[in-house]
Amino acid sequence: MSKTQTSQVQVKRFSKAFVVAHAINGIAFIGLYITALPMYTEFFDWLYPLLGGPEGARLAHRVLAVAFILPTFIFLIFDPKGFMNWMKELVTWKKRDLQFFSEFVKELFGFKSKHVKQTFFNAGEKINSILQIVCAILLIASGFTMWFPDVFPTALVQWGYFLHNVGFGLGFAVVLGHIYLSVIHKHSRPGFTGVITGKVPAEWAKSHYTEWYEEEVKKGNFPDLDDPKNKKNKGA
Amino acid sequence: MTNHWNDLQHTDVCMIIGANPAENHPISFRWLLKARERGGKIISVDPRFTRSSSQADIYSPLRSGTDIAFIGGMIHYAIENNLFHKEYVAKYTNASFIVKESFKFNDGLFSGFDEGTSSYDKTQWAFETDKDGNPLKDEKLENPRSVFQLMKKHYSRYDADTVSTVTGAPKDDYVKICELFCSTGQVGKAGTIMYAMGTTQHTVGTQNVRSYAMLQLLLGNIGLPGGGVNALRGESNVQGSTDFALLWGDLPGYLGAPKAIPEHATLKAFLEKETPKSGYWINKPKFYVSLLKAWYGPNATKNNEFAYQMLPKGNKNYSHISLFNAMYKGELEGAFLFGQNPVVGGPNAGKEKESLSNLKWMVAVDLWETETSSFWQKEAGSDPSKIATEVFLLPASASFEKEGSITNSSRWMQYRWKAIDSRGEAKADLEIIHVLATKIKALYKNENTPAAQPIKALHWEYGHGDHPDIDIVCKEINGYDYNTGKQVVGFGALMDDGSTCSGNWIYSGFYPEEGNNRSKARDSKNTDGGTNFLNWSYAWPANRRILYNRASADPSGKPWSSERAVISWDGAQKKWVGNDIPDFVPTKAPTDEGGMNPFIMLGDGVGGMYAPTLNDGPFPEHYEPFESPIPNVFSSVEMNPTVKVWDGEFNKKGNNKDFPIVATTYRVSEHWQSGSMTRNQEWLSELVPHMYVEMSEELAKEKGIKNKDKIVVSSARGDVTAYAMVTKRFKPYKLKGGMIHHIGMPWHFGYKGYATGDTANRLTPHIGDANTMIPEYKAFLCNVRRAD
Amino acid sequence: MATEYVKYVDVTKCDGCRACMVACKNWNDLPAEPQDFLGTMQSHANVTADTWNVLTFVEHENSKGNLDYLFRHSSCFHCTDAACEKVCPENAISYTDKGMVVVDQDTCVGCGYCVQNCPFDVIQLKNYKDENGKEYRKAHKCTMCTDRLDEGLQPACVTTCHTGAMEFGEKDDVIRKAEKRVNEIKERYPNAMVYNPKGVGGTHTIYVLAEKPSVYGLPENPKVPTSAVLWKDYAQPIGKAMVGGVAMALAGAFVANKFFDKKNGGHEDNGGGNHE
């Protein structure tokens, strides 16, 4: 099975702004997690010396926390269209989204499944986004009360600890799934290049986000892969 | 104290007046709370509601300086309501004595007053006597010239309404207090009065204490457990100090110092004049000669009046106030100040500080550099270039760094051992005096002038080198046979023929034999004496814990009540037995001569309801303080007429228009005296770091002052900047003449140490009590305003 | 647990002398921290990391119209259910066998979670600078002198108290004593009560108060914060379980995928796609 020419064709899925924002978000999230780990569980106490002791970890955590707030604004300011598109997707739910879920589970475990036509983001990605947004809000808001306890009423600070825990507990679980699907899982990992270069394989995009791909073809942005001109070698 | 600290637990009612033991003698509260547990009650009478008041069952405010009115009213109440212990009063006090017709009292003055000298001819107050010189009596107390009836008449003017308008005590609370305290007049009950500087530091201080003594005699509370008149001394060893004559008119053991008057020209004449004809003081010559023998040793013989001529004869008033007046006028060359800090603790402290710069030399002996030892520095607000005084600072050892005894308020002489060495060159006072004496003696060794004689005659053999042998000092104080060197067993063994010596007769008996220094006794089990702890330390005199304890038994020798018993006459053994050393001849039966006279130190052997020896009258009479907010309600004599008032700059007087607010000073638990020790301690300075003034919410509102504002308090003598502590614990006083405000402040602060602040005593007047010259720190006038 | 011991504080016997404050500083070698003037005799507004016991002074006009001057020795309550112990992420706070709550200074990282969750505002952080100039923090509070307890002594403050306002003894004895005392003083102090709050499981510093807790500035019904309970007893374990579960599910998915995908030869899709 060799790579055919068609497999090399890529289409632009994400703007540079999004790529940067996503990268910062991801790195910050992981960094925040690591700098919090030794305090979260004794199992990771060996990290303390590497992080410069509890104060070093605390400082790094706060620097990364500020970084964690930026992506939303980077995305919004430098790619407002992309941002609004994202927002629109998150609030648009149709029958196909529910169908997606049942097919997704089968697909995840390697059973026979079929594609349900999706728009720019599939239902799973939408859920991922919503959960990550909720978690981010919880984390950032409670992060403030934890960082500046003297400024906030005690009750808010106390609930902050709880919500921070919920935020990173849930967030991490979601991130695990997100990373698995984008890096490891066979049928979704081709999309990984999207957050590096902004481009994804055209064939893959077409089969996974069919409605979006077809629209872009209509607009003349993406190559029509059904056009025999674009098919050089249809492998077995 | 007549009684002692542990004894407080036996009281039925404790009246705290002119004192704040919860703050300033905190351990006493352990015993008061024990008394409480047994059903005892506590009364607190104070210009403001203190930490002691918080533990009291009844609190009443008292305008500072009106104790006599307050107590006079209680005397009146006790008599009117028949609450006094009749038999005790008739038999054990001079209430039954008949007073000469020449004794009168009218409009604030007793008979015999001489305006020129501001003093009384006390002979006018004498008793009527029979041909043998014994006072005539009426034990029924009905004779109109009896002390009792005269007292009743005198205090009939002190009815509750009048008292209320003078003291500011609300009438209801006042009557409740009278009722409660006077209930201890019943047989089987005992009431105690605890007092301190709030009582004594007034121009009528002595008479204040007199009024307590009268009340307690009336109620039969002297000599009983849980009773007595109990002074809370202001320093851990001031009792010891005064016992050893740190008062200018005394020699150790309260022997009078001789004056430069014809009656004191010779020892014989002196003893003739100063020895009472009856009472235990008839033994004064024995104590006096023994003292001279201790001081002058082989230089004191029968042939030279035991070196009596070596004693300086005073011709002035040598009180603190007088000395500083003299210093101010440049009449003093030098001064030793041993642990004394008048720049903070002295009356009219600002002026006292000025006076110091008139000295040619000054020696300060202190643990730290104090406001006084550094009075000449810029930090003190002085200009060193203008001050010519040569100042020496001798570092002194702290109490844990030296050996010796201290005597507490209960007269318990407790020995202390050295725990650690002193720092640097610090020395114990004993060492300092020893070195000074030896060096001065050496300097005068070959001189023959009159000035050199007393110094050469002084016998100083307390060991060689710089360190005296304190055991030798102890033995000498106790006294010993001069020929054999054997220690005496007590003052009863002292002689007036030069065969014995004793440095202080009242302590004689604490070291009765070699190896038995009883001040070192530490038996904490109640094996002897129950709560009197007879085997813990040594209480002078003769280890008697409750003074006048003969009075705890009726004339026949049986305790008035088994619940309040101390000693009783055991006819079989022919001696007094009980849980205290009898303050009485142990084998004198009640039926013997004097067998019913418990007050052995007084000539008549009975308690002095009437005291014709005091300078300002035989009965306490209310006078207003030197600076007073209202005219005297009781008479037209405003201030105690026998008080010495100096002219001039030193004691400017403020009027009640410019200074309408009554002020008082006090102490707090956390600081001590002039703060030279406590304000150099971080943990104590942390507790009370700032100088503050307490005032009522009403006064604060009037002056636009909020809690924590910086304010200025001013008097005719100076002013003080401090924080305002606006509190509910002071309330305005409703007096005759209108609403008067009252404030109070701690006097601990100065400019040295961790905790610094303005010195309250810059405000106080330079005037003292008519008998003792103790300064009137506690009642004066001031005004208050915001600092900004 | 072995026998529980309790510090008994009867404020009605306290005369506000503050020897207990000095005894505590003395025994524990704590530095002085003088404050600005607070307007009363009270020296510190609250306990701090260097001042573990503060005497509070309250002037209170009581129900009879008389003035009460109320004192309270305030320090750590040593709760049976201590919020600080609960929320410490490093397990630096623990219970001793006598029931005291202590902080292991070596383990503490100065995060301050305990400070924010204490219902009584007791435990506090202290700033330090090490020899390299690096700043760090540690949490401090009354230790109930566990070092003295281990030697058979009593806490320094209790030993110093001269009126017997403070005692130290077995929990049941102390509770009985406290209740008896309240009965004794009901006449003088009608609102007297035993302060041993149930919301923190009872404490190891038990008070006989002369007045209602609010008069002393104490919470009437303190408890372990609900947020702390939800956080530590629910969110944290559930979160850990959830992550574990997800990780397992994903591992399972990976394995299953490898296995079944081979079998099935891939899933249908529109253009065959570029699956390997």
Query: For residue range B567-611, what is the model confidence (pLDDT) as tens digits?
Result: 999 999 999 999 999 999 999 999 999 999 999 999 899 999 999
Portion 47-106 of A in contact with C at CB < 8 A: 53-55, 58
Please judge whether C270 and A112 are an interchain contact, meaning their C-beta atoms are less than 8 angstroms apart: no
Tell whether C248 is within 8 A of chain A (Cβ). no
Please judge whether A190 and C274 are an interchain contact, meaning their C-beta atoms are less than 8 angstroms apart: yes
Query: At residue B117, what is the residue type?
Result: T
Question: Distance (Å) from the C-alpha of residue C164 to the closest C-alpha of chain A?
Answer: 36
Q: Which residue has the higher pLDDT, C249 or C114?
A: C114
With an 8 Å CB cutoff and a minimum of 3 pairs, decide whether chains B and C touch: yes
Please judge whether C40 and B727 are an interchain contact, meaning their C-beta atoms are less than 8 angstroms apart: yes
A46 beta partners:
none
Residue A230: what pLDDT?
Answer: 61
CB B93 within 8 A of CB B219: no
B171: helix, strand or coil: helix
CB C137 within 8 A of CB C92: no
CB C101 within 8 A of CB C95: yes
B478: helix, strand or coil: helix
Average the pLDDT over each of C80-84, C137-141, C259-263 and give the range with the smallest value: C259-263
Evaluate if residue B470 carries a pLDDT over 90: yes
Tell whether A26 is within 8 A of chain C (Cβ). no
DSSP A2-46: PPPHHHH-EEE-S-HHHHHHHHHHHHHHHHHHHHHHHHH-GGGTT
What is the gyration radius of the CA atoms in chain C, in angstroms? 26
A200 beta partners:
A11
* Residues 6+ away with beta carbon under 8 Å from A105: none
For residue A122, which phi and psi values (nearest 5 degrees)?
-80, 170
B718: helix, strand or coil: strand
Confidence band of A7 (pLDDT split at 50, 70, 90): low
Please judge whether C16 and B52 are an interchain contact, meaning their C-beta atoms are less than 8 angstroms apart: no
Average pLDDT of the residues of chain A = 88
DSSP C110-159: ---HHHHH-TTS--EEEEEE-TTS-EEEEEE---TTHHHHHTT---HHHH
Confidence band of A232 (pLDDT split at 50, 70, 90): low
Confidence band of A185 (pLDDT split at 50, 70, 90): confident
User: Burial of C23 by CB count in 10 Å (0-12 exposed, 13-18 middle, 19+ buried)?
Assistant: buried
Evaluate if residue A2 carries a pLDDT over 50: no
Residue C6: what pLDDT?
Answer: 97
Tell whether C37 is within 8 A of chain B (Cβ). yes
Chain C residue numbers with beta carbons less than 8 Å from the beta carbon of B26 are 15, 17, 19, 162-163
Tally of CA atoms within 13 A in the half-sphere of B380 that contains its CB: 22
Question: Distance (Å) from the C-alpha of residue C169 to the closest C-alpha of chain A?
Answer: 34
Tell whether A148 is within 8 A of chain C (Cβ). no
B93: helix, strand or coil: strand
Over residues B224-283, the pLDDT tens digits come to: 999 999 999 999 999 999 999 988 899 999 999 999 999 999 999 999 999 998 889 999
CB A168 within 8 A of CB A139: yes
Helix axes B205-218, B67-80, angle to 10 degrees: 20
Evaluate if residue A235 carries a pLDDT over 60: no
Q: Which residue has the higher pLDDT, A106 or A140?
A: A140
| Assigned CATH topology for domain C5-223 | Alpha-Beta Plaits (3.30.70)
CB B554 within 8 A of CB B595: no
CB C70 within 8 A of CB C55: no
Over residues B51-69, the pLDDT tens digits come to: 999 999 999 999 999 999 9
Tokens standing for B586? 């142990």
Query: At residue B8, what is the residue type?
Result: L
Residue in B closest to C19 by C-alpha: B670
Residue in A closest to C227 by C-alpha: A159
Least Cα distance to C17 among C163, C167, C145 occurs for: C163
Please judge whether C89 and A39 are an interchain contact, meaning their C-beta atoms are less than 8 angstroms apart: yes
Evaluate if residue A233 carries a pLDDT over 60: no
C-beta neighbour count of B28 within 10 angstroms:
24
Tell whether C254 is within 8 A of chain A (Cβ). yes
Which of C112, C257, C260 is closest, CB to CB, to A149? C112
Which of C32, C36, C71 is closest, CB to CB, to B682? C32
Confidence band of C263 (pLDDT split at 50, 70, 90): low
CA distance C166 to B539: 31
Evaluate if residue C275 carries a pLDDT over 50: no
Containing B726, the helix (H) or strand (E) segment is strand B718-727
Question: Distance (Å) from the C-alpha of residue C236 to the closest C-alpha of chain A?
Answer: 7
Evaluate if residue C28 carries a pLDDT over 90: yes
Chain C residue numbers with beta carbons less than 8 Å from the beta carbon of A201 are 274
Give a three-class secondary structure readout of B419-435.
CCCCCCCCECHHHHHHH
Over residues B114-140, the pLDDT tens digits come to: 999 999 999 999 999 999 989 999 999
Containing B569, the helix (H) or strand (E) segment is strand B567-570
Question: Distance (Å) from the C-alpha of residue C222 to the closest C-alpha of chain A?
Answer: 13
pTM given for the model: 0.91
Tokens standing for B32? 């008061």
Tell whether B211 is within 8 A of chain C (Cβ). no
For residue B279, which phi and psi values (nearest 5 degrees)?
85, 170
Portion 182-201 of C in contact with B at CB < 8 A: 188
Tokens standing for B662? 């009554």
- Please determine, looking at this structure, whether the domain spanning A10-223 carries the CATH number 3.30.70.890: no
Tell whether C32 is within 8 A of chain B (Cβ). yes
Query: At residue B716, what is the residue type?
Result: A
Tell whether C83 is within 8 A of chain B (Cβ). no
The strand ranges marked E within chain C are: 5-10, 54-61, 67-74, 93-95, 101-103, 124-129, 135-140, 166-170, 193-195, 205-209
Tokens standing for C141? 């509070």
Chain C residue numbers with beta carbons less than 8 Å from the beta carbon of A154 are 116
Tokens standing for C99? 């029931």
C-beta neighbour count of B670 within 10 angstroms:
27
Evaluate if residue A6 carries a pLDDT over 80: no
Chain C residue numbers with beta carbons less than 8 Å from the beta carbon of B723 are 37, 39
Instruction: Tell me the mean pLDDT in the region A58-84.
Output: 95
Chain C residue numbers with beta carbons less than 8 Å from the beta carbon of A114 are 267-269
Evaluate if residue A4 carries a pLDDT over 60: no
DSSP B639-661: S-TT-----SGGG----TTT--E
Tokens standing for C216? 């002393």
Residue B360: what pLDDT?
Answer: 97
Cis peptide before B541 (omega within 30 of 0): yes
Please judge whether A42 and C91 are an interchain contact, meaning their C-beta atoms are less than 8 angstroms apart: yes
Share of chain B above pLDDT 70, in %: 100
CA distance B214 to C217: 46
Share of chain C above pLDDT 90, in %: 79
CB B659 within 8 A of CB B783: yes
Residue in C closest to A201 by C-alpha: C274
Residue C234: what pLDDT?
Answer: 93
Over residues A18-50, the pLDDT tens digits come to: 999 999 999 999 999 999 999 888 889 899 999
Confidence band of A3 (pLDDT split at 50, 70, 90): very low
Residue in C closest to A180 by C-alpha: C250
CA distance B771 to B773: 6
B391 beta partners:
B362
Instruction: Tell me the mean pLDDT in the region B447-451.
Output: 94
Please judge whether B685 and C18 are an interchain contact, meaning their C-beta atoms are less than 8 angstroms apart: no
Question: Distance (Å) from the C-alpha of residue B667 to the closest C-alpha of chain C?
Answer: 12
C-beta neighbour count of A209 within 10 angstroms:
23
Question: Distance (Å) from the C-alpha of residue C38 to the closest C-alpha of chain B?
Answer: 7
CB B109 within 8 A of CB B637: yes
Tell whether C61 is within 8 A of chain B (Cβ). yes
DSSP state of C61: E
Evaluate if residue C251 carries a pLDDT over 70: yes
